[in-house]
Amino acid sequence: MELNKIYNQDCIEGMRQYPDKFFQLAIVDPPYFQGPNLSGYYGKGYSNLGVKRAKYYKGCKEWNVPGPEYFQELRRVSKNQIIWGANHFAGVFDSSSPCWIIWDKDNGKSSFADAEIAYTSFRSAVRIFKYMWNGMHQGSFGGDVSKNEKRIHPTQKPVALYKWLLAHYANAGDKILDTHAGSCSSAIACIDMGFDYIAYELDHDYWKAGTERVRQFEAQLKLF
């Protein structure tokens, strides 16, 4: 399949098309609870920023916790992995020498989690990335909300996080895999830093919104 594409396709079917260790690094953020539970977790159909959540009240198939086959394929096609939601996937990872990445959201007194945890196959010390991500309060823009990232997905992660991961865990020429692209922040980070990538997003609405976000970013790059 062609590189630098975001496919509206089941990621397991997509990964089957690649030979062993085709990707140097997979950075993935799979769902860690089933769709029907989202109504209780989030409490309403839209966030305060207008991000649509209503689809998941119906328990649609696109938001399912991945099983063993997913992790088996992920390890087969990628040399190394960074997997978000690691604290929710007990027993999936190599417990002999686990390595972790912490994203400190610097979110003050928010009721949401203070941090997110990723497992990494790299054998290294625990690393922490601190980046504010709490509603309209984002990152290092000094309060200039006009420079905030547009939120289009309920579990969206900032581009800055993916750029930090690429800077610390990828090498020039690496091919990057994202199996659950969501808002496509990973694709934007790859484009900005010159990495080839493949991404998958099964939900058509989020795929459409994410690919449009990438298109707008690429158009902006051409202007400058």
- pLDDT of 22 reads 98
Length of the chain: 224
Residue with tokens 């198939």: 61
Q: Domain 5-223 carries which CATH code?
A: 3.40.50.150
From residue 19, give the alpha-carbon distance in Å to each of 26, 28, 145, 181: 14, 19, 44, 21
Please give the pLDDT value at position 59. Answer: 44
**200 beta partners:** 7
Average pLDDT along the chain, 224 residues, taken 10 residues at a time? 93 98 98 59 52 48 80 97 89 73 87 90 93 82 74 92 98 98 97 98 94 96 84
Q: How confident is the model at residue 58, as a pLDDT? A: 44
